[in-house]
Amino acid sequence: MSHAAADRYAWIEPDVEDLGGGVYRIPLPLPLEGLKAVNVYAIADPGGVDLIDAGIALGPARERLTAGLRQIGYELGDVRNFFVTHIHIDHYSLAIELRRAFHSVISLGEDERANLIATRELMNGRGSTERFFGFDSLARLGAAELTAGLDAADRRPPAVIEWEDPDRWVPDGADLDLRTRTLRAVHTPGHTRGHLVFHDAAAQIMFAGDHVLPQITPSIGFEAAGNRMALRDYLSSLGKTLALPDARLLPAHGPVTVSTHARVNELLAHHDLRLAETLSAVQAGHATPYEAAKAIRWTRRERVFSELDLFSQILAVNETAAHLEVLAVRGQLTRETSAEGADVYQVAGPES
Ligand SMILES: [Zn+2]
């Protein structure tokens, strides 16, 4: 592995990082391609510990959390609260599992309620072909042919848990009083509709969940309830983050970095470029989200669409659709429905 690559993945090493002020970063393993770990943050005081995010409900994650807490002098039973940034399985599911044994209290953003209900419907109700979200919209995005590959792939989530309610639905702007500090919960929809970041203005740190990630661009609107306007929401959430004082960035995936503002500005620039590329694709005649996605380069390595694995292709089509919707909202494109039921975009004509 090159030096640069080694540095890039240093954050996933199973060490506890002491961030000062009783805050510790504990990376937990994930069985996901491309996303190898999730950071759980422990906020400790003599009486116990509160956690930001929980990890995935699988044995290796639970073992690593146990070991990480022991390293700083606590047991799983000392966890009072899980403040979970969003509903995704790598953040929420281990909290559900541990609550059964230890009666810890789980808090989650109130706008995740729709996702929790939709996730239960996906898991319990309809046929197995619809258990993978993002799947049922493929025909509308002009990408029906990708569904054939999905029949062969394993669409089930990696951990089977009961999608139980949290103990507390947290509204935007709530102040969470911990023993050593107050965290302001800020609603930052986009990655999911109910995503929260937890901002400690006094200590100048932000627990950013998946809203602002230092090394990758967060997926947008990849959620059970779906959200066509996810990118518009996300861009405005980035603006909301810039309006808060700058803070040290404590992300759910990737290393801790010095400035939320610096990274938000990079993400805004990235989406500006993406919007321009997406507009160019439509100008060149690529009318559906699927066609436009195939006309764009992907990942840091500028890969062509056909080089991506199936899961990444589905994310890419959904991501392209999100950019097309923003261009439509801005009046640069119009959207119609084709005879096959696919969304078809055109460059907006001059006003008549
Ligand atoms: Zn995540």
Compute the distance from residue 174 Cα to the ligand 1 centre, in Å.
Answer: 22
pTM for the full predicted model = 0.91
| 73-101 pLDDT per residue, tens | 999 999 999 999 999 999 999 999 999 99
Query: What percent of the chain is predicted at pLDDT more than 90?
Result: 75
Task: Give the model's pLDDT for residue 136.
Answer: 66
Compute the distance from residue 352 Cα to the ligand 1 centre, in Å.
Answer: 46
Q: How does strand 17-20 pair with strand 23-32?
A: antiparallel
* Whole-number Å distance between alpha carbons of 346 and 348: 6
Task: Give the model's pLDDT for residue 129.
Answer: 43
Compute the distance from residue 61 Cα to the ligand 1 centre, in Å.
Answer: 14
| 29-73 pLDDT per residue, tens | 998 777 899 999 999 999 999 999 999 999 999 999 999 999 999
Compute the distance from residue 160 Cα to the ligand 1 centre, in Å.
Answer: 17
Compute the distance from residue 276 Cα to the ligand 1 centre, in Å.
Answer: 27
**Hey, what amino acid is at 209?**
G
| 163-195 pLDDT per residue, tens | 999 999 999 999 999 999 999 999 999 999 999
- What does the pLDDT average to over 265-269? 98
Task: Give the model's pLDDT for residue 88.
Answer: 93
Count CB atoms within 10 A of the CB of residue 267. Answer: 18
Task: Give the model's pLDDT for residue 311.
Answer: 82
- What does the pLDDT average to over 127-155? 65
* Whole-number Å distance between alpha carbons of 290 and 313: 9
Would the pLDDT of 278 be above 90?
Answer: yes
Compute the distance from residue 242 Cα to the ligand 1 centre, in Å.
Answer: 21
- Determine contact, residues 264/242, Cβ cutoff 8 Å: yes
**Hey, what amino acid is at 190?**
G
- The mean predicted confidence, pLDDT, of the chain is 91
Compute the distance from residue 252 Cα to the ligand 1 centre, in Å.
Answer: 6
Compute the distance from residue 22 Cα to the ligand 1 centre, in Å.
Answer: 23
Would the pLDDT of 126 be above 70?
Answer: no
Compute the distance from residue 191 Cα to the ligand 1 centre, in Å.
Answer: 9
Q: Which two tokens stand for residue 5?
A: 């690559």
Closest residue by Cα to residue 235 from 192, 187, 267: 267
**Hey, what amino acid is at 95?**
A
Contacts of residue 110, Cβ cutoff 8 Å, sequence gap at least 6: 169, 170, 171, 194
In degrees rounded to 5, what are phi and psi of residue 56?
A: -95, 145
Hey, is 338 helix, strand or coil?
coil
* Whole-number Å distance between alpha carbons of 85 and 82: 9
